[in-house]
Structure 1
Amino acid sequence: MADRYGSDRLSIFLIILSIILNFIGNLLKTPVFGLIGYIPLAISIYRMLSKNITRRRMENYKFVMFTDSFTAWFKKAVDNITIRIRDAKTHRYFSCPDCRAKLRVPKGKGTIIITCPKCKTEFKKKT
Protein backbone atom coordinates (compact mmCIF):
# COMPACT_ATOMS: atom_id res chain seq x y z
CA MET A 1 0.00 0.00 0.00
CA ALA A 2 1.59 3.19 -1.19
CA ASP A 3 1.86 6.29 1.00
CA ARG A 4 1.34 4.38 4.25
CA TYR A 5 3.57 4.66 7.30
CA GLY A 6 4.25 0.96 7.97
CA SER A 7 5.73 -0.58 11.10
CA ASP A 8 8.25 0.89 13.52
CA ARG A 9 9.43 0.24 17.07
CA LEU A 10 6.28 1.66 18.67
CA SER A 11 4.00 -0.45 16.47
CA ILE A 12 5.97 -3.60 17.25
CA PHE A 13 5.86 -2.76 20.98
CA LEU A 14 2.08 -2.32 20.78
CA ILE A 15 1.66 -5.68 19.02
CA ILE A 16 3.80 -7.45 21.65
CA LEU A 17 1.84 -5.71 24.43
CA SER A 18 -1.39 -6.90 22.83
CA ILE A 19 -0.13 -10.49 22.69
CA ILE A 20 0.96 -10.37 26.35
CA LEU A 21 -2.38 -8.93 27.52
CA ASN A 22 -4.32 -11.56 25.56
CA PHE A 23 -2.09 -14.30 27.00
CA ILE A 24 -2.70 -13.03 30.56
CA GLY A 25 -6.43 -12.87 29.81
CA ASN A 26 -6.40 -16.50 28.68
CA LEU A 27 -4.46 -17.62 31.76
CA LEU A 28 -6.73 -15.79 34.19
CA LYS A 29 -9.90 -16.69 32.28
CA THR A 30 -11.07 -13.07 32.37
CA PRO A 31 -12.48 -11.57 29.19
CA VAL A 32 -11.55 -8.05 30.35
CA PHE A 33 -7.84 -8.59 29.60
CA GLY A 34 -8.76 -10.07 26.25
CA LEU A 35 -10.76 -6.98 25.31
CA ILE A 36 -8.10 -4.62 26.66
CA GLY A 37 -5.51 -6.59 24.68
CA TYR A 38 -7.16 -5.63 21.39
CA ILE A 39 -6.79 -1.89 22.04
CA PRO A 40 -2.99 -1.76 21.45
CA LEU A 41 -3.44 -3.99 18.40
CA ALA A 42 -6.02 -1.60 16.92
CA ILE A 43 -3.76 1.39 17.62
CA SER A 44 -0.83 -0.39 15.97
CA ILE A 45 -2.84 -1.25 12.85
CA TYR A 46 -4.13 2.33 12.68
CA ARG A 47 -0.55 3.64 12.89
CA MET A 48 0.67 1.25 10.18
CA LEU A 49 -2.08 2.23 7.76
CA SER A 50 -1.92 5.95 8.51
CA LYS A 51 -1.07 8.47 5.80
CA ASN A 52 0.01 11.14 8.30
CA ILE A 53 3.67 10.16 8.21
CA THR A 54 5.09 13.19 10.06
CA ARG A 55 2.86 12.65 13.07
CA ARG A 56 3.66 8.91 13.22
CA ARG A 57 7.38 9.69 13.03
CA MET A 58 7.08 12.12 15.93
CA GLU A 59 5.19 9.54 18.00
CA ASN A 60 7.86 6.94 17.26
CA TYR A 61 10.66 9.45 18.01
CA LYS A 62 9.19 10.26 21.44
CA PHE A 63 8.77 6.55 22.18
CA VAL A 64 12.36 5.77 21.15
CA MET A 65 13.75 8.64 23.27
CA PHE A 66 11.70 7.46 26.26
CA THR A 67 12.76 3.81 25.96
CA ASP A 68 16.41 4.56 25.14
CA SER A 69 16.82 6.49 28.39
CA PHE A 70 15.72 3.38 30.33
CA THR A 71 17.85 1.12 28.18
CA ALA A 72 20.96 3.26 28.73
CA TRP A 73 20.40 3.37 32.50
CA PHE A 74 19.84 -0.40 32.67
CA LYS A 75 22.92 -1.14 30.54
CA LYS A 76 25.08 1.10 32.74
CA ALA A 77 23.80 -0.62 35.90
CA VAL A 78 24.48 -4.09 34.47
CA ASP A 79 27.98 -3.05 33.36
CA ASN A 80 28.80 -1.71 36.84
CA ILE A 81 27.61 -4.94 38.47
CA THR A 82 29.59 -7.02 35.97
CA ILE A 83 32.78 -5.07 36.68
CA ARG A 84 32.32 -5.42 40.45
CA ILE A 85 31.78 -9.18 40.15
CA ARG A 86 34.82 -9.53 37.90
CA ASP A 87 37.03 -7.56 40.33
CA ALA A 88 35.62 -9.12 43.53
CA LYS A 89 38.69 -11.32 44.14
CA THR A 90 41.30 -8.60 43.71
CA HIS A 91 39.68 -5.28 44.68
CA ARG A 92 37.28 -3.69 47.18
CA TYR A 93 34.99 -0.79 46.40
CA PHE A 94 34.40 2.07 48.82
CA SER A 95 32.53 5.33 48.52
CA CYS A 96 33.97 8.60 49.73
CA PRO A 97 32.13 9.85 52.85
CA ASP A 98 32.12 13.44 51.55
CA CYS A 99 31.51 13.36 47.80
CA ARG A 100 30.18 9.76 47.44
CA ALA A 101 32.66 8.98 44.64
CA LYS A 102 33.26 5.26 44.03
CA LEU A 103 36.83 4.23 44.83
CA ARG A 104 38.50 0.93 43.90
CA VAL A 105 41.22 -0.30 46.27
CA PRO A 106 43.35 -3.48 46.06
CA LYS A 107 42.31 -6.25 48.44
CA GLY A 108 44.50 -7.74 51.17
CA LYS A 109 46.51 -4.65 52.17
CA GLY A 110 45.17 -4.44 55.75
CA THR A 111 43.97 -1.15 57.19
CA ILE A 112 44.90 1.67 54.82
CA ILE A 113 44.29 5.37 54.48
CA ILE A 114 42.39 6.09 51.28
CA THR A 115 42.62 9.53 49.68
CA CYS A 116 39.73 10.47 47.43
CA PRO A 117 41.11 11.78 44.12
CA LYS A 118 38.05 13.95 43.60
CA CYS A 119 37.80 15.88 46.89
CA LYS A 120 41.13 14.90 48.59
CA THR A 121 39.37 13.59 51.72
CA GLU A 122 41.33 10.95 53.65
CA PHE A 123 39.61 8.08 55.47
CA LYS A 124 40.66 4.74 56.96
CA LYS A 125 39.26 1.44 55.75
CA LYS A 126 40.19 -2.22 56.06
CA THR A 127 40.72 -4.08 52.81
Structure 2
Amino acid sequence: MMRTMFDRLFAGRNGIDQLNIALFVLAILCWIGSLFAPTRGLANLLHWACLLAAAFCCVRAFSQNLGRRQQENQKFLAMTRGFRIGRNWRAKMEQKRQYKVFKCPSCGVKLRVPRGKGKIKVTCRQCGASFEERS
Protein backbone atom coordinates (compact mmCIF):
# COMPACT_ATOMS: atom_id res chain seq x y z
CA MET A 1 0.00 0.00 0.00
CA MET A 2 2.80 2.42 0.92
CA ARG A 3 4.74 1.46 -2.21
CA THR A 4 1.83 2.27 -4.52
CA MET A 5 1.27 5.55 -2.71
CA PHE A 6 4.90 6.58 -3.28
CA ASP A 7 4.73 5.40 -6.90
CA ARG A 8 1.72 7.64 -7.49
CA LEU A 9 3.36 10.54 -5.68
CA PHE A 10 6.53 10.39 -7.79
CA ALA A 11 4.87 9.61 -11.14
CA GLY A 12 6.23 12.05 -13.73
CA ARG A 13 8.68 13.53 -11.25
CA ASN A 14 12.46 13.31 -10.91
CA GLY A 15 12.51 11.26 -7.72
CA ILE A 16 15.71 10.26 -5.97
CA ASP A 17 19.00 10.21 -7.88
CA GLN A 18 22.68 10.32 -6.90
CA LEU A 19 22.73 14.11 -6.46
CA ASN A 20 19.68 13.95 -4.17
CA ILE A 21 21.35 11.26 -2.08
CA ALA A 22 24.48 13.41 -1.77
CA LEU A 23 22.39 16.45 -0.79
CA PHE A 24 20.56 14.39 1.83
CA VAL A 25 23.84 13.13 3.31
CA LEU A 26 25.16 16.71 3.30
CA ALA A 27 22.05 17.89 5.13
CA ILE A 28 22.47 15.19 7.79
CA LEU A 29 26.18 15.99 8.23
CA CYS A 30 25.43 19.71 8.56
CA TRP A 31 22.72 18.97 11.12
CA ILE A 32 25.07 16.79 13.18
CA GLY A 33 27.79 19.43 12.86
CA SER A 34 25.42 22.13 14.08
CA LEU A 35 24.68 20.08 17.19
CA PHE A 36 28.36 19.84 18.13
CA ALA A 37 29.59 23.22 16.84
CA PRO A 38 31.81 25.07 19.34
CA THR A 39 30.31 28.51 18.65
CA ARG A 40 26.78 29.75 18.17
CA GLY A 41 27.63 31.42 14.84
CA LEU A 42 29.02 28.21 13.33
CA ALA A 43 26.03 26.28 14.64
CA ASN A 44 23.66 28.74 12.93
CA LEU A 45 25.64 28.58 9.67
CA LEU A 46 25.55 24.76 9.66
CA HIS A 47 21.86 24.79 10.56
CA TRP A 48 21.03 27.02 7.57
CA ALA A 49 23.25 24.90 5.29
CA CYS A 50 21.31 21.84 6.48
CA LEU A 51 17.98 23.50 5.71
CA LEU A 52 19.13 24.69 2.26
CA ALA A 53 20.47 21.25 1.30
CA ALA A 54 17.27 19.54 2.48
CA ALA A 55 15.07 22.06 0.67
CA PHE A 56 17.05 21.73 -2.57
CA CYS A 57 16.84 17.93 -2.25
CA CYS A 58 13.03 18.11 -1.92
CA VAL A 59 12.68 20.57 -4.83
CA ARG A 60 14.77 18.29 -7.06
CA ALA A 61 12.85 15.16 -6.00
CA PHE A 62 9.42 16.65 -6.78
CA SER A 63 10.49 18.51 -9.91
CA GLN A 64 8.75 17.65 -13.17
CA ASN A 65 11.53 19.19 -15.29
CA LEU A 66 13.23 15.84 -15.88
CA GLY A 67 15.68 17.02 -18.53
CA ARG A 68 17.15 19.74 -16.36
CA ARG A 69 17.41 17.47 -13.30
CA GLN A 70 19.14 14.78 -15.36
CA GLN A 71 21.66 17.36 -16.64
CA GLU A 72 22.36 18.44 -13.06
CA ASN A 73 22.83 14.82 -12.01
CA GLN A 74 25.17 14.12 -14.96
CA LYS A 75 27.31 17.15 -14.07
CA PHE A 76 27.45 15.97 -10.46
CA LEU A 77 28.48 12.46 -11.56
CA ALA A 78 31.17 13.90 -13.84
CA MET A 79 32.53 16.06 -11.01
CA THR A 80 32.63 13.20 -8.49
CA ARG A 81 33.89 10.51 -10.84
CA GLY A 82 37.28 10.32 -9.12
CA PHE A 83 35.71 9.70 -5.72
CA ARG A 84 33.40 6.98 -6.99
CA ILE A 85 35.89 5.08 -9.14
CA GLY A 86 37.29 3.01 -6.24
CA ARG A 87 33.89 1.70 -5.19
CA ASN A 88 33.98 -1.24 -7.62
CA TRP A 89 36.70 -3.06 -5.68
CA ARG A 90 34.49 -6.10 -5.13
CA ALA A 91 33.88 -6.52 -8.86
CA LYS A 92 37.59 -6.00 -9.55
CA MET A 93 38.52 -8.67 -7.00
CA GLU A 94 36.04 -11.10 -8.53
CA GLN A 95 37.48 -10.43 -11.96
CA LYS A 96 41.00 -10.93 -10.62
CA ARG A 97 39.99 -14.39 -9.37
CA GLN A 98 38.53 -15.42 -12.71
CA TYR A 99 40.99 -13.84 -15.16
CA LYS A 100 44.70 -13.23 -15.52
CA VAL A 101 45.90 -10.01 -17.13
CA PHE A 102 48.96 -9.85 -19.38
CA LYS A 103 50.66 -6.97 -21.14
CA CYS A 104 51.48 -7.35 -24.81
CA PRO A 105 55.29 -7.30 -25.16
CA SER A 106 55.18 -5.26 -28.37
CA CYS A 107 52.44 -2.63 -27.85
CA GLY A 108 51.79 -2.78 -24.07
CA VAL A 109 48.01 -3.33 -24.28
CA LYS A 110 46.47 -5.23 -21.36
CA LEU A 111 44.99 -8.60 -22.35
CA ARG A 112 42.66 -10.61 -20.14
CA VAL A 113 42.55 -14.43 -20.33
CA PRO A 114 40.62 -16.94 -18.19
CA ARG A 115 42.55 -18.56 -15.35
CA GLY A 116 43.25 -22.29 -15.14
CA LYS A 117 43.72 -23.03 -18.86
CA GLY A 118 47.40 -24.00 -18.54
CA LYS A 119 49.95 -22.72 -21.04
CA ILE A 120 48.12 -20.88 -23.81
CA LYS A 121 49.01 -18.83 -26.87
CA VAL A 122 47.79 -15.26 -26.47
CA THR A 123 47.25 -13.07 -29.52
CA CYS A 124 47.07 -9.30 -29.09
CA ARG A 125 43.91 -7.76 -30.50
CA GLN A 126 45.60 -4.48 -31.30
CA CYS A 127 48.92 -5.34 -32.95
CA GLY A 128 48.44 -9.08 -33.71
CA ALA A 129 51.57 -10.21 -31.84
CA SER A 130 51.44 -13.73 -30.37
CA PHE A 131 53.15 -15.00 -27.22
CA GLU A 132 52.78 -17.95 -24.85
CA GLU A 133 51.88 -17.52 -21.19
CA ARG A 134 50.62 -19.62 -18.31
CA SER A 135 47.09 -18.80 -17.21
Distance verdict in 2 for CA 1:12–1:33, change over 3 Å: farther
How many residues of Structure 1 are paired with residues of Structure 2 in the alignment?
114
Q: Which residue matches 1:93?
A: 101
**Match for residue 71 of structure 2 among 39, 50, 62:** 62
Counterpart check, 1:122 vs 2:130: yes
Sequence identity of aligned pairs in percent?
13
Aligned-pair Cα RMSD in Å: 4.4
Counterpart check, 1:41 vs 2:51: yes
Equivalent AA in structure 2 for residue 17 of structure 1: L
**Residue 128 of structure 2: SS of its match in structure 1?**
coil
Q: Which runs of 4+ in 1 moved over 2 A?
A: 5-13, 21-27, 29-38, 46-50, 53-57, 66-81, 105-110, 112-115, 122-127
C-alpha separation in 2, matches of 1:125 and 1:34: 64
C-alpha separation in 1, matches of 2:133 and 2:31: 55
For structure 1, the residue ranges without an aligned partner over 5 or more in a row are: none
Q: Which residue matches 2:111?
A: 102
C-alpha separation in 2, matches of 1:61 and 1:36: 28
Bigger Cα displacement from structure 2, 112-121 vs 69-78: 69-78
Task: Tell me how far 1:82 sits from its aligned partner.
Answer: 1.8
For structure 2, the residue ranges without an aligned partner over 5 or more in a row are: 1-12
